[in-house]
Structure 1
Amino acid sequence: MNNSNSPKVALGTWAWGSEDVFGDTLTTSDLKPVVDSAMEAGLNLWDTATAYGMGISESIVGDLLKNYKREDYLISTKFTPQMADGSEHAVANMLEASLKRLHTNYVDIYWIHNPANVELWTPQLIPLVKSGKVKRVGVSNHNLDEIKLANSILQKEGISISAVQNHFSLLYRSSEKAGIIDYCNENNIDFFSYMVLEQGALSGRYNTKNPLPEGSTRADKYNKMLPELEALVKGLSDLGNKYNASVAQIAEAWAINKNTLPIIGVTKQKYIAETKKSTSIILADDEITMLESLADATNVETKGSWENHMN
């Protein structure tokens, strides 16, 4: 993806079929305008996973993209070790089910979703790459040692990791502090940053007077942090005024300016144009420093329950 024509963001579909996390029930008809607007805007990299809604997200993505030419979009999906079927071909079996739901015979990036057993799962990617069913290999939620171990396993067969996907936002920069982003830059690996907006807490749409909707795990997690986030959100808003951009656009632009490829969760058509604009905002170094100082001062912990510490 490291060329000028490559997408600068991926569109995330975690919320497509994950009502318990996000508090919404989204259908194919709800999401068709989102997909059509995104494709028209040139935002054609879609990130999903078998684990998102237990296959529901993949099914919706597949149904909505099947009328487009396959070469006109990119699909990123994941093997989740905790969902493995226990067979010696568990990765291949999970991929086959994903391919059926996605109405395709290959995926552009296939990820090991978390590092449950790097030595066990990583080698199973090799025949999938050699068969052409997987174009590129990625690892998600791995620390630097685990990334290097996975890479060493693949490189014995002439394959390399070409993407890393970790939680990375103004409020959670552990992959930077652990040297993972530097390692990616040095080895031509794309770093995909997820939860850049912290499930909406850094979108500018929520505050102490207007908290996240109750009844979801994200509300339980972030609503209690909203007082600490006020100064950071104001800093994002002030920069937004300068760049004629929203709070969310500045938070997304920060991630792009850090040489990462953010995965932006989209559930409504109106956010497509906003996401597109964020890819063209270039922040000054002192603005990046200011935002990171405000973020550090919040002193909140946003690590996901599924994540290990990166350092």
Structure 2
Amino acid sequence: MSKINKRAIGQTDLKLSPLGLGCWQFSNGTGIVGRYWATMEDSTVKEIIQTSLDGGINWFDTAEVYGKGQSEETLAAMLDELNISPEDAHIATKWWPLFRSSSSITNTIGTRQEKLNHRPIDLYQVHQPHSFSSVEKEMDQMVKLVEEKKINYVGVSNFSEVAMRKAHARLQEYGLNLTSNQVRYSLLDRRIEKNGVLDAAKELGISLIAYSPLEQGILSGKFHNDPSLVQKSGMRKYLGRFKPNGLAKSYPLILKLEELAKKYEVSASQIALNWIISYHGETVFAIPGASKPHHAEENIGAMNFELSRDELEEISRISWEIVEKSPKK
């Protein structure tokens, strides 16, 4: 396995690669959420996972709602087939709160364990902030799972600054800390830098895990360079950023990413991913997905070079100019 500099997530001893692999696409086309992705061959999934591991990625992010557990099941099965130890492949998964109360966290953990073939759950996250219970009661249930050694660390996802602070404060009553908050973050979506989430995370020692770090492929530049691809992009073609006006507004950022990509002999996507995991020091991790092996290779390559501070700031400046005038969706 490649040597990638690992970093501690949150205030834990768990050292993870700056990039993990997002596993939503392993949903096997199951369920409302899972149908977003086409069914993938097991051989392709296995190659993606092996490529990621060989390149130094040592953790995988999945969720109960991804194909009603199909993503978890597929991930665990492929890791087992590849004979990968839990020490070399850490797993983060998520409990789905909608229309449930906090007791579901403990009541359903057995199913999560079964889906993951009893591999350790290193990070267990509340997937989003809407349930029938308070944040505090959700954290109470998470603490039970830690005490019973059914999970190792507690995280949340899509939590506001206020909700994140509540979760952290409740855990501290038990001598624990909130490890992470998984949020949407990219060069075209920088809300966490204005709504207090990023500042609070830095203050409290909470890691942020960025999902959609490439904004569904826009930051690769492929849709700018060949607009005909938009019509083949499924539901994305209806989003403002994929329409001609949206692409025109983000084009200056693509030009900068491509300029730096040429300098470092990488791709625009790799520059964008490197910015995400570098600009704020070690606070932000990211979980790009991969539906083909070469996507996994791209992810790995984003961790193998270092942008200068001036380059990071220049990307940031152009990004902010785009963000302020771009469609939000």
How far the C-alpha of 1:5 sits from its partner, in A, is 5.5
Q: What are the residue-to-residue correspondences of 1:58-207 with 2, within 5 Å?
A: 58-66=72-80, 67-82=83-98, 84=100, 89-116=103-130, 117-207=134-224
Name the SS of the counterpart of 1:151 in structure 2.
Answer: helix
1:26 counterpart residue number: 40
CA contact (8 A) 2:270 2:301 kept: yes
Q: Deviations over 1:7-60 (max 9, x none)?
A: 111110122227576553223222111111112222120001111122221111
CA distance in 1, matches of 2:156, 2:85: 27
CA contact (8 A) 1:105 1:133 kept: no
Pair 1:241–1:161, CA change in 2 (3 A): same
Name the SS of the counterpart of 1:199 in structure 2.
Answer: helix
CA distance in 2, matches of 1:14, 1:139: 17
Among candidates 271, 280, 304, match of residue 280 of structure 1: 304
1:12 counterpart residue number: 22
1:241 is the counterpart of 2:262: yes
How far the C-alpha of 1:156 sits from its partner, in A, is 1.1
Q: Deviations over 1:132-182 (max 9, x none)?
A: 111111111011111110111111111110111111111111112233223
Quote the RMSD (CA, aligned, Å).
2.2
2:289 counterpart residue number: 265
How far the C-alpha of 1:277 sits from its partner, in A, is 2.0
**AA of the residue aligned to 1:136:** Y
Is the deviation greater in 99-108 or in 244-253? 99-108
CA distance in 1, matches of 2:291, 2:186: 20
Q: Which ranges of structure 1 fall in alignment gaps of 5 or more residues?
A: 304-311
Is the deviation greater in 253-262 or in 113-122? 113-122
How far the C-alpha of 1:187 sits from its partner, in A, is 2.7
Name the SS of the counterpart of 2:27 in structure 1.
Answer: coil
Pair 1:23–1:273, CA change in 2 (3 A): closer
Name the SS of the counterpart of 2:171 in structure 1.
Answer: helix
How far the C-alpha of 1:81 sits from its partner, in A, is 0.4
CA distance in 2, matches of 1:217, 1:97: 31
Number of residue pairs matched? 301
When the two structures are superposed, what TM-score results if normalisation uses the length of structure 2? 0.84
Pair 1:252–1:21, CA change in 2 (3 A): farther
CA distance in 2, matches of 1:301, 1:45: 33
Name the SS of the counterpart of 1:265 in structure 2.
Answer: coil
**AA of the residue aligned to 2:160:** N
Q: Which ranges of structure 2 fall in alignment gaps of 5 or more residues?
A: 1-6
CA distance in 2, matches of 1:154, 1:97: 24
Query: Between the two proteins, what is the percent identity of the paired residues?
Result: 29
